């Protein structure tokens, strides 16, 4: 087993990034003009990286599968972005953001990366405001903050429930400025189908023009993968329908190690499933847990009456409600981290207290927040705070101002009015902490090949805190990669343009074309979705919120069989040389069918519980923490980085031992 070199700079944690930046090699502006960089994906990470690299002077070739870079799924992020600004004066600092993130990640992330993330977080807010991102402000004209799960300060900046949209449009506008200057060549409706490695270095990609079906070769001196996470391996998730792991999986097959695939975030507050036809799940922002209280009935009779439609949740008296998060975790209450909140919901529902027909839903209730805000507003306006009707109206207005778009979205989907009755929610797959292994420079195990944003594994350990994904995407793209990639490219100033006529490009293109031909000529009996849904079922049932040895072994076997069946029986209508959505999906599902197996293999080998990875065999058996997840730092304080060797079952494990010099490893307690 080889050891992985994470290339963490020496020196005290606080100085690492600054002194490292002072010493790394730079490329002079005249030489940057002769260097090309490919960026795949245009979300917060890819969009901000493309804009910044182009602004520095590199020639950027950017790719996205959507019809415009603005549609990347970062756009759907709702609640906010963390930054250690301490504008609220509530004790926040770079160290505290770093500490919260490492603890929230259940001590499975890399200290140096997380500290750097916390360090640059404040710049992100400055940058976005300068770009004209309209964050929420208070009446004095200054920026407002809210709280998110797993922390005790208010450090989250937001733009109503559309923070991701506003940040992405900021990055998109920065891209547009460079597209107009000709420094970014934008390739919309293009999908990367392979990376080309020449003499051991990433030198280009093979992409399919999704409109014409043409297979294209694109060369560059470095390739950056910013294609997001692999949550759609579950078929149902909060990801966009097109979100996929193909770029990440293809580079894995060309030598990039894949780290911690089993670390998946199941988000506690999503709209429950309604039927088999369901195509995706919708998130209700974590910010709602600032004001919403989560509960199920205490008595089984009430549960039954609710399911039969004989009782409404508003008719259940306070003393007959079980606010189980407040009961189990008094210090953090409804704002425990996502993995903890999700498991607690599952625990109640498994015990039979679920409040909808499927038994998989709990309440998220705003009644007390409406009361609290309404009374305050009545006092501020000098109105009668004992007038219940008025108080309710005033309170609803405040809640509307804070979460209006989320409430509207909920009502449109469920046909229930959440201002009058509690929302029903249940956990759903949302984010993947695992991803392509990268070193401190965000470079993969293939020289010249980088992975940023959700596509890499580095910052969130085994569980990501709310409002940290936006922070990481923008930190990687705006402030980290532009420095580290320069150090690598400084060796390429004499290389000249990379030719696409080499045997390596030839071979990669041929293999892509062969796969497409195979799909088109297969003429099997089942659609792509048929297989994707089956894979999703295996993943959710056996690699979901809780996992055990037997289930994981079964999952490995079942996914393997499903994959074989897929290649024999998949039906892809249409031709290769046209706009063909089924063909696009086929390629993505083929990759998910391999990734899913590696996921289960990783989950099987990690016999501890940590963050989003909960092994039923590893729980605290007594004391105050009884029933909580039990980590095993002795044996598992490492990053599991898998090397591709053909079949997923042949993947070879490499370990990066995690060192904690500035934080003491502790049982994570939110009690």
Minimum distance of another protein from residue 155's CB (angstroms): 13
Q: Is 167 in the site for another protein (CB under 8 A)?
A: no
Minimum distance of another protein from residue 303's CB (angstroms): 22
DSSP-derived secondary structure for 477-503: IIIIHHHHHHHHHGGGTTT-PPPS-SH
Q: Is 163 in the site for another protein (CB under 8 A)?
A: no
The owner of tokens 């508003």 is 314
Both tokens assigned to 287: 């910010």
Buried b (16+ CB within 10 A) or exposed e, 392-424: bebbbbbbeebbeebbebbeeeeeeebbeebbb
Around Cβ 525, how many Cβ atoms within 10 Å? 10
Q: Is the Cβ of residue 280 or residue 553 nearer to another protein in the bound state?
A: 280
Minimum distance of another protein from residue 79's CB (angstroms): 13
- Which residue stretch of 102-110, 132-140, 219-227, 342-350 sits at the interface with another protein (rule: CB under 8 A)? 132-140
Q: Is the Cβ of residue 135 or residue 440 nearer to another protein in the bound state?
A: 135
Around Cβ 29, how many Cβ atoms within 10 Å? 9
Minimum distance of another protein from residue 111's CB (angstroms): 22
Sketch the per residue contact string, 56 through 95, with another protein: x for CB under 8 A, - otherwise.
----------xxxxxxxx-xx--------x-x--------
CA distance 442 to 119: 16
Q: Is the Cβ of residue 181 or residue 327 nearer to another protein in the bound state?
A: 181
The residues that are catalytic are: 338
Q: Is 242 in the site for another protein (CB under 8 A)?
A: yes
- Which residue stretch of 174-182, 190-198, 357-365, 435-443 sits at the interface with another protein (rule: CB under 8 A)? 174-182
Q: Is the Cβ of residue 128 or residue 455 nearer to another protein in the bound state?
A: 128
List the 59-63 sheet strands across, edge first: 184-187, 59-63, 36-40, 222-225, 449-451
Q: Is 566 in the site for another protein (CB under 8 A)?
A: no
Q: Is 568 in the site for another protein (CB under 8 A)?
A: no
Q: Is 400 in the site for another protein (CB under 8 A)?
A: no
Q: Is 138 in the site for another protein (CB under 8 A)?
A: yes
Q: Is 120 in the site for another protein (CB under 8 A)?
A: yes
DSSP-derived secondary structure for 236-301: SSSS-TT---HHHHHHHHTT--EE-TT-EEEEEEEPPP--TT-----B--GGGGGT-EEEEESSHH
Minimum distance of another protein from residue 57's CB (angstroms): 12
> Among residue numbers 243 through 282, which ones bind another protein (CB under 8 A)?
274-275, 277-280, 282
CA distance 210 to 66: 9
Q: Is 126 in the site for another protein (CB under 8 A)?
A: yes
Q: Is 172 in the site for another protein (CB under 8 A)?
A: yes
DSSP letter, residue 8: P
# of chain residues touching another protein (CB under 8 A): 81
Minimum distance of another protein from residue 65's CB (angstroms): 9
CA distance 173 to 132: 10
Q: How far is CA 203 from the centre of its chain?
A: 27
Member of 371, 500, 522, 571 binding another protein (CB under 8 A): 571
> Among residue numbers 468 through 487, which ones bind another protein (CB under 8 A)?
478-479
First to last CA, the chain: 40
Q: Is 288 in the site for another protein (CB under 8 A)?
A: no
> Among residue numbers 211 through 240, which ones bind another protein (CB under 8 A)?
211, 238, 240
Both tokens assigned to 217: 């070769």
């Amino acid at each position: 087993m080889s050891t992985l070199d994470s290339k963490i700079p020496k020196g005290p944690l606080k100085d690492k990034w600054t002194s490292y930046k002072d010493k790394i090699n730079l490329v002079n502006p005249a030489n940057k003009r002769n260097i090309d960089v490919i960026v795949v994906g245009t979300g917060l990470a890819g969009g901000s990286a493309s804009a910044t690299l182009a602004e520095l002077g590199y020639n950027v070739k950017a790719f996205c599968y959507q019809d415009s870079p603005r549609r990347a799924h970062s756009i759907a992020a709702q609640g906010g972005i963390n930054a250690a600004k301490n504008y609220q004066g509530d004790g926040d600092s770079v160290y505290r953001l770093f500490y919260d993130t490492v603890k929230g990640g259940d001590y499975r992330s890399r200290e140096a990366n997380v500290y750097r993330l916390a360090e640059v977080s404040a710049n992100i807010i400055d940058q976005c405001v300068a770009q004209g991102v309209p964050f929420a402000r208070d009446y004095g004209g200054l920026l407002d903050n809210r709280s998110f799960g797993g922390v005790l300060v208010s450090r989250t900046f937001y733009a109503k429930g559309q923070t991701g949209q506003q940040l992405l449009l900021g990055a998109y506008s920065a891209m547009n400025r460079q597209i107009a200057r000709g420094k970014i060549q934008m390739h919309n409706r293009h999908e990367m189908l392979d990376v080309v490695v020449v003499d051991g270095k990433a030198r280009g990609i093979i992409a399919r023009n999704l409109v014409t079906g043409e297979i294209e070769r694109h060369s560059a001196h470095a390739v950056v993968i910013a294609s997001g996470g692999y949550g759609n391996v579950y078929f149902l998730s909060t990801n966009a329908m097109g979100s996929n792991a193909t770029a990440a999986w293809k580079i894995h097959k060309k030598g990039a190690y894949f780290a911690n695939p089993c670390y998946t975030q199941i988000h506690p507050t999503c709209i429950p499933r309604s039927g088999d036809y369901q195509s995706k799940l919708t998130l209700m922002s974590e910010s709602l847990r600032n004001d919403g209280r989560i509960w199920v009935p205490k008595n089984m009779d009430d549960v039954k009456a609710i399911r039969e439609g004989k009782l409404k949740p508003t008719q259940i008296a306070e003393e007959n409600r079980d606010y189980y998060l407040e009961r189990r975790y008094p210090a953090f209450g409804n704002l425990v981290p996502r993995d903890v909140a999700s498991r607690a919901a599952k625990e109640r529902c498994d015990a039979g207290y679920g409040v909808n027909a499927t038994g998989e839903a709990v309440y998220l209730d705003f009644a007390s927040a409406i009361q609290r805000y309404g009374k305050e507003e009545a006092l501020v306006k000098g109105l009668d705070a004992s007038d219940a009707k008025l108080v309710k109206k005033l309170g609803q207005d405040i809640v509307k101002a804070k979460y209006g778009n989320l409430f509207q979205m909920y009502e449109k989907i469920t046909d229930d009015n959440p201002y009058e009755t509690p929302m029903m929610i249940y956990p759903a797959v949302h984010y993947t902490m695992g991803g392509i292994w990268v070193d401190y420079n965000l470079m993969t195990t293939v020289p010249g090949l980088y992975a940023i944003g959700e596509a890499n594994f580095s910052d969130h350990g085994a569980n990501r805190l709310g409002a940290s994904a936006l922070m990481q995407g923008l930190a990687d793209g705006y402030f980290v990669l532009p420095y580290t990639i320069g150090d690598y490219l400084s060796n390429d100033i004499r290389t000249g343009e990379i030719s696409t006529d080499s045997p390596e490009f030839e071979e990669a293109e041929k293999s892509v074309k062969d796969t497409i031909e195979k799909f088109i000529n297969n003429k099997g009996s089942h659609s792509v979705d048929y297989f994707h849904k089956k894979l999703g079922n295996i993943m959710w049932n056996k690699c979901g919120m809780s996992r055990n040895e037997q289930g994981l072994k079964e999952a490995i076997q079942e996914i393997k069989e499903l994959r074989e069946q897929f290649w024999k029986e998949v039906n892809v209508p249409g031709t290769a040389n046209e706009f063909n959505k089924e063909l696009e999906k086929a390629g993505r599902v083929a990759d998910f069918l391999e990734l899913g197996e590696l996921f289960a293999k990783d989950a099987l080998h990690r016999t501890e519980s940590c963050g989003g990875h909960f092994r039923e065999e590893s729980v605290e058996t007594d004391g105050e923490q009884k029933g909580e997840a039990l980590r095993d730092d002795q044996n598992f304080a490492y990053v599991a980085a898998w090397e591709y060797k053909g079949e997923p079952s042949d993947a070879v494990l490499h370990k990066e031992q995690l060192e904690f010099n500035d934080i003491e490893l502790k049982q994570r307690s939110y009690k």
